[in-house]
Each structure stands twice: as structure tokens, then as C-alpha cells.
Amino acid sequence: MIGYLGPERSYTFFAASTFYVADELIPYNNIGRLFYALSHDEVKGIVVPFENMKEGTSFDILGRIRKNHYHISREIILEIVLSIVSKENSIDDIDQIFATGHSINESYNTLKKELGKYQRFEVKTDKIALEKLNEESEVTRGAVLSNHQELGAYNVVVNNIRDTLENTHKYVLITKSLEVNGFHNRTLIACSPKENKVGSLYDILHEFVLRGVSVDKILSNPVRKKDDDIIFYIDLEGNIEDKLIIEAMEIIKIKSKFVSILGSYFSK
């Protein structure tokens, strides 16, 4: 079984559904409960939101993976198209909008432009937003729904209303074991230099650059105190079993307080 961040039919559910059937998926209400389920073998893996262009990569998820010695086994890109849906055929007839907080944030300016003055009601899920259209009301209602929601007989009155189309949503499957079989073109590691000094990151990256290993992304954890360890998260192009990455890692282990392999997986 695979756990995912609920509720049912959330975006994380749809991300997980790209690889698993619904009967294999179990919803959990929060990230902490998800990781608890994985640690106690309630599930063999968990699917969580990991990154989008507005909010960046989740340091909470990165930290939990590293501290628990878990691994990213799969990356899932979810294309989300938001639309205004209603019983009506025209945007001019809609006075109320029901949408999740996420959908409102993603399409706030477009909603304002298309609807002008309107009543906005925030709900927890797309499913609830759709149910609101079924209720009897003297006021004409609409809902902001994603392309993953079954609309039934309702009409899409304005399609693709996200304020920016560049906000890709990335999810990951996290497991206890490190999977290296198959076509894996991405490796994610975490390391902390032995000394917090100018040039410590260069000393680590130099080992990859020297061997022609492409470094696609570098993140560092927020340091709150002077004596806190700096942790670098380094996203590499290639499989963890590639000879050149293995060679670089052997040297980096000498230069670091610790090195953790957070994942080896396929990335588009």
C-alpha cells in the first residue's frame, strides 16, 4: 500500500494515481502522520508534494528524508489546469465562486479580471467545491476546478485561468530502501562540510565538476545559529551507481561530516 497526503482526490492523490490504482492508496491528514506510517510499515511508500515554482522545494520534506535515512524513489510531475465551472454557460451569470485556497492563490488575478466583484468561498477540496454547485441557491454559483476533477454535466465557462502557466507541481515517492534499478538519471545527496568556511561548497562541487558530472541544483538549509551545521542538498545528473559519481562521492565523504544519499530516480 502507498500513503499520500489527503484528503481523497487531492492533487497528491492524482499524482500517486499516475502509478498506483486507487485501491492501493491510503490518505493521511498531515505530513507527520505520513512519515509515521512509513516508519511503522503501515505502507511501503508515501507520496508527498515536493516542489513548485512559487514556493520552491520543501525543506521540511528534505529534512525528514535525511533524518530518517529514507530515499526518493520516483519523481512525479503533475500538470494542473484550473477552470471556472458552472451550471451556466456564461461567466457573466456567476456571482459566487467556491474554490480551495490553493486554487484561489493560483488564479486570484484572473478571477478578479473575469468576474469583477464576486463572493468568494474557500473550501477544503475540489470535491466540496463541485458539491456546492449541486445545492439549491438563489445566487448563481461557479467553482474553480482542476482538469483532474470529473465535471459531469457542468460547463467549463473559462478554461486555464491560472495566473502563470510556469508553476509546475512536483511530487515524490519516498521509500525506506534506495532503488537504483531501471533508468535513473537523477541523484540527490545531502552533505555537511567539516568546516563552515568560505569556499567549503566549492570544495565539494569541485569533485563533481572535475569529473564532468552535471550539478543541476544546489540548496542549503536555513542556518539559525552561528554554530549550526550547514547542510547542502545537491541535485546531480546521473545514477548513483555511475562510476564518476561514485568516485566523487568517495572524496566528498572525506571532506564532509556526513554524506546522505536522498534518492536515485528518473526525472523528466
**What are the sequence ranges of the domains in the chain?**
1-79+168-177, 82-158, 179-268
> Pairing state of beta strands 45-52 and 2-5?
parallel
Task: Provide the terminal-to-terminal Cα distance of the chain, rounded to the nearest Å.
Answer: 25
Cα dihedral across residues 115, 117, 151, 48: positive or negative: positive
What confidence score (pLDDT) does residue 258 get?
A: 92
- Please give the Cα distance from 186 to 238 (Å, whole number): 5
With b for 16 or more beta-carbon neighbours within 10 A and e for fewer, the 165-176 pattern comes to eeeebbbbbbbe
Q: What is the pTM of this model?
A: 0.82
Architecture of domain 1-79+168-177: 3-Layer(aba) Sandwich (3.40)
Same fold, 1-79+168-177 and 82-158: yes
C-beta separation of 23 from 17 below 8 A: no
The amino acid that residue 215 corresponds to is: V
- Please give the Cα distance from 238 to 101 (Å, whole number): 37
Cα angle vertex 227, ends 188, 230, to 5°? 15
**In this structure, what are the phi and psi dihedrals at residue 122, rounded to the nearest 5 degrees?**
-90, 130
Q: CA neighbours within 13 Å on the CB side: how many for 156?
A: 13
> Pairing state of beta strands 186-193 and 256-265?
antiparallel
The hierarchical CATH code for the domain 179-268 is 3.30.70.260
The amino acid that residue 236 corresponds to is: L
**In this structure, what are the phi and psi dihedrals at residue 49, rounded to the nearest 5 degrees?**
-65, 140
The hierarchical CATH code for the domain 82-158 is 3.40.190.10
What DSSP designation does 24 have?
G
What string of pLDDT tens digits covers the 268 residues of the chain?
999 998 888 889 989 998 989 899 999 999 999 999 999 999 999 999 998 766 778 889 999 999 999 999 999 988 888 999 998 888 888 889 999 988 888 899 999 998 888 889 999 888 889 889 888 888 889 999 988 888 878 889 899 998 877 667 899 999 998 877 668 889 999 999 988 777 888 889 999 999 999 999 999 886 666 667 789 999 999 888 899 999 999 999 999 999 999 999 888 7
Specify the DSSP element, H or E, that contains 141. Answer: strand 141-146
